[in-house]
């Protein structure tokens, strides 16, 4: 899947501006604050909205004009998008029919099993919980075995066990060679999707790739560390006095600090400890997680 210079304007409002990226098999998280342009971008990737400028190719063709490309796409929209008077089974069977599936019953049974939906599936969808309706949407997106999946906030309404199960399913799909794009704002869940991210901020692509690698490249940004050693008072004073650290906090035999020059700090901290005969037990970063990367990128 490739997006090249994609923009979308609504009158004078530019919702997405000059976004380019290429995605292959595996799970990619689409991140961004509310109003960043995530849903607009997803609609264009699915072929539901025409880019103002730029081009999109899914399975080698434009999903707006190629029925073959559209057949390779499975979509779980953020909105409920279900027929409330329809049953779970008939809802998924309809998706199978529209997707050109030949053995509709077998494909429906398999899709319902993959999302762990069982029980009285002939009841109207409107009578089910949010979580069950959400899983019905995921089943309907999977039933025609697409090679590309777009899931917009797919874990909304699911309980913790169901969330773990769906995250495992997304990983399985990625390992099977499918391209899975998951939009979410819950950062701790996104970390469990995998490390590959697309970060959208103010309609632009702020970063793409492994969020840990992204953070390691941001040496111009403050970075927090925890340093565990002996002689904490002497070491802390030396780090501040030498301009290697700020925001020092001593907690037991550990020092938590901020540095604006991470490479220099890493190069000299062992020498500082040695100078004061301090034994260095551990040096670990405190903000190389997705939340810190996201916070820096969108600020």
Residue with the two structure tokens 């029925």: 67
Q: Which two tokens stand for residue 42?
A: 């997803």
Residue 100 pLDDT > 70: yes
Structure confidence at residue 219 (pLDDT): 58
pLDDT digits (tens, 9 = 90+) for 224-278: 899 999 999 999 999 999 999 988 999 988 999 998 888 889 899 999 999 999 9
Q: Which two tokens stand for residue 59?
A: 């399975």
State the alpha helices, DSSP H only, in 49-159.
Answer: 67-71, 88-98, 104-114, 130-142
223/271 same-domain check: yes
Q: What is the pTM of this model?
A: 0.75
Which structural domain, as residue segments, surrounds residue 16? Answer: 2-216
What's the whole-number mean pLDDT along residues 45-54?
A: 94
Burial class (CB in 10 A: 0-12, 13-18, 19+), 3: buried
Beta bridge partners of 150: 75, 181
121/267 same-domain check: no
> How many angstroms separate the CA atoms of 59 and 118, rounded?
33
Greatest alpha-carbon pair distance for the chain in Å reads 75
CATH assignment at residue 68? 3.40.50.300
CATH assignment at residue 268? 3.30.70
pLDDT digits (tens, 9 = 90+) for 159-188: 888 888 999 999 999 999 999 999 876 666
Using a pLDDT cut of 70, give the percent of the chain over it. 91
Is the distance from CB of 257 to CB of 249 less than 8 angstroms?
A: yes
For helices 88-98 and 130-142, angle between their N-to-C axes, nearest 10 degrees: 20
> Chain centroid to CA 25: how far?
14
Domain end residue (candidates: 216, 251, 271): 216
79/164 same-domain check: yes
Structure confidence at residue 297 (pLDDT): 67
172/239 same-domain check: no
Decide the pairing of beta strands 196-201 and 179-183.
Answer: unpaired
Q: How many domains does the chain have?
A: 2
For helices 130-142 and 104-114, angle between their N-to-C axes, nearest 10 degrees: 130
Give domain status of residue 297, yes or no.
no
How confident is the prediction for the chain on average, in pLDDT?
87
């Amino acid at each position: 899947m490739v997006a090249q210079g994609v923009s979308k304007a609504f009158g004078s409002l530019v919702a997405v501006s000059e976004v380019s990226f290429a995605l292959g098999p595996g799970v990619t998280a689409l991140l961004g604050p509310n109003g960043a342009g995530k849903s607009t971008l997803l609609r264009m990737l699915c072929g539901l909205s025409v880019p103002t400028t730029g081009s999109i190719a899914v399975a080698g063709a434009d999903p707006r004009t190629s029925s073959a490309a559209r057949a390779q796409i499975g979509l779980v929209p953020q909105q409920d998008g279900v027929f409330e008077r329809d049953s779970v089974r008939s809802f998924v069977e309809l998706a199978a029919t529209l997707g050109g599936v030949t053995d509709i019953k077998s494909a429906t049974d398999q899709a319902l099993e993959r999302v762990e939906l069982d029980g009285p599936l002939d009841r109207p969808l409107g009578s089910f919980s949010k979580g069950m309706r959400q899983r019905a949407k995921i089943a309907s997106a999977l039933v025609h075995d697409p090679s590309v999946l777009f899931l917009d906030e797919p874990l909304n309404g699911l309980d913790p066990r169901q969330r773990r199960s769906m995250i495992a399913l997304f990983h399985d799909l990625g390992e099977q060679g499918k391209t899975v794009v998951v939009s979410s704002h819950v950062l701790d869940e996104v970390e469990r999707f995998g490390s590959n991210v697309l970060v959208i901020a103010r309609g632009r692509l702020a970063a793409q790739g492994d969020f840990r690698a992204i953070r390691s490249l941001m040496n111009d940004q403050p970075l927090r560390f925890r340093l565990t050693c002996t002689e904490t008072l002497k070491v802390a004073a030396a780090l501040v006095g030498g301009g290697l650290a700020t925001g020092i906090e001593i907690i037991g035999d550990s020092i938590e600090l901020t540095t604006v020059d991470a490479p220099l700090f890493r190069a000299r901290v062992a020498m500082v400890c040695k100078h004061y005969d301090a034994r260095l037990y551990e040096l670990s970063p405190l903000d190389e997680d997705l939340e810190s990367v996201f916070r820096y990128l969108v600020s």
